[in-house]
Amino acid sequence: MSLLTVKDLSFSYSQEENVLNGVSFVVEKGTYISLIGHNGSGKSTIAKLLAGLLEAKSGSIEAFDLEYNRKNIRKIRSRIGIVFQNPDNQFICASVKDDIAFGLENRQVDPAKMNEIILEYARKVNMEDFLDKEPENLSGGQKQRVAIAGVLAMKPDILILDEATAMLDPKGKKEINDVIKNLRTENKDLTIISITHDIEEAFESDRIIVLNNGKIALDGDKELILSHKQEIIDMGLDIPFKNKFIDALKDAQLDDVIKELYD
């Protein structure tokens, strides 16, 4: 089932040069998609357009059978949640509990039901023991988990992660990636769109869209992406360490080692 359709999308921050040039793709319900590309490729601009924070120069976006326009944008935004890359910019309350509650209060959720909802989503991201903590005393990974809990509590149909692990250390990245894996297990209908430059993360998704100079260069699963390794490298990206290691073993004619490690 098609949940989101992007057609011939173009965007410019100035009148001189487009950041996006005729981008088209369709997102199916319940899929996990990664948009990757080098800095300046246009991936974060797409995130903001999908979240309704920017308006396209030309082309169209449609979600939930609604076209992105001034009439529909509030209804569309109510079904999309976005987590940005800097966790420190996402907190406005004095405690983790209050921060998760903030969006619920704006939605005028019944106060009698709010504590139960907050605890439910804090548990989903393994932050139930931190509800009374001040956000400034959390690690980067913990802050992002709280940000994700706050978004999930509003029950979006689409979760957009805009470089959500870019400012985290390896431990924090693992925490967020583990949360995503658990979310996908618990809710098969949740659609996740991850904007990232981390190929290791992208390879955890069902589908990878590679952007280069504002256009889609590649679109497919990780096997297809791996079949274009040199093209990926030429675009300023990398391939996962595991695959580089396997290639090195093949070059050294150590196929028996590959079989023992990965079969």
> What's the chain's length in residues?
263
- Contacts of 129-136 spanning 24+ positions with Cβ under 8 A: 130/96, 131/95, 131/96, 131/97, 131/100, 132/95, 132/96, 132/97, 133/95, 133/96, 134/94, 134/95, 134/96, 135/91, 135/93, 135/95, 135/96, 135/99, 136/91
pTM of the model: 0.88
For position 263, what pLDDT does the model report? 59
Residue range 189-197: mean pLDDT, rounded: 92
Percent of the chain with pLDDT over 70: 93
**253 pLDDT above the threshold of 70:** no
Residue 217 confidence (pLDDT) above 80: yes
End-to-end, the C-alpha distance of the chain in Å comes to: 35
Task: Specify the pLDDT at position 60.
Answer: 93
The answer to whether residue 171 scores a pLDDT higher than 60 is: yes
- Mean pLDDT calculated for residue range 237-257: 69
What pLDDT score was predicted for residue 208?
A: 95
Encode pLDDT of 63-111 as tens digits. Answer: 999 999 999 999 999 999 999 888 777 777 889 998 888 888 888 888 8
Q: What letter does residue 254 receive in the DSSP assignment?
A: -
Closest to 83 (Cα-Cα) out of 194, 201, 184: 194
pLDDT in tens, 4-63: 999 999 999 887 788 999 999 999 999 999 999 888 888 889 999 998 889 888 999 999
Question: Percentage of the chain with pLDDT > 90?
Answer: 35
Which two structure tokens, joined as six digits, stand for 3?
Answer: 């949940």
User: Residue 216's closest CA among 21, 38, 44?
Assistant: 21
| Dist CA 90 CA 146 (whole Å) | 10
pLDDT exceeds 80 at position 212: yes
Amino acid 38: pLDDT: 85
- In 3D space, the residue among 208, 260, 262, 258 whose CA is nearest the CA of residue 237 turns out to be 208
Beta-strand (E) ranges in the chain?
A: 2-11, 20-28, 32-36, 58-63, 66-67, 80-83, 158-162, 191-196, 207-212, 215-220
